[in-house]
Structure 1
């Protein structure tokens, strides 16, 4: 490492590896999306008359199943996974609505609970099915 005017020079690798504001916004955006979706679900379940209820609930109804389906599609490239997970979320929402209408059990709260339950089950199945680490098998001769 060289020093310039008595201060150690910082290499490019050290500059990129150093955490700080503006370095990686993915966790921040994921947290904000989770908060918006959670608020939407709570507002819909509580029956609030807030003007944010509609957009936040719609975001929840698209984001929760899309995140669960995206977790199951780890083998696809990022763009393909986004397209497939959003399409799957729309299909799941439509199937829940169609089933509830066919059974004459439609309600906003029931739809939110059904989509939440199905999304949680998909995530649970993905986490149970995914192996924790590589298992090495010893060969016996």
Structure 2
């Protein structure tokens, strides 16, 4: 019987394909871009009423990610895990409040709900941006 010898791995820390190593700092923008793309596809699929097996999961991702990202941007002072938990909980609360308000007013529609969540998430982002710009504006002092 013959034994097969396996070479010991080399000392490089690459990904195994001979390319440069992948760092976590490089993966974060890629992950964020992928999340934005999936959310945008979910928004388009839901608003245009295109029949696709990806419509439900991508739309659900958008409905959770859009308000969650806006709330997370507003909660920059918290630690990462606390911010994630608070922003996801806030996103679920926003979705439930929109659905409850639309049902109580007898104006429920899928497109209307998605549009309302989009507007609310955009307003939260806009308020965060305005608040940050106000902090950066230098105050004029007259002496």
Could you tell me the TM-score, scaled by structure 2's length? 0.79
> Alpha carbons of 1:134 and 1:104: their partners in 2 closer, same or farther (altered >3 Å)?
closer
Give CA deviations for 1:24-66 in whole Å, capped at 9, x if unaligned: 2000000000000000010000111100000000000000000
Equivalent runs, 1:57-136 vs 2, <5 Å: 57-131=59-133, 133=136, 135=138
Structure 1 position 136, deviation (Å): 7.0
Q: Which structure 2 segments of 5+ residues have no match?
A: 1-19
Give CA deviations for 1:53-98 in whole Å, capped at 9, x if unaligned: 0000000000000000000000000000000000000000000000
Q: Which structure 1 segments of 5+ residues have no match?
A: 1-19
Equivalent runs, 1:1-80 vs 2, <5 Å: 22-23=22-23, 24-80=26-82
CA RMSD of aligned residues (A): 1.8
Number of matched pairs: 121
Alignment correspondent of 2:12: none
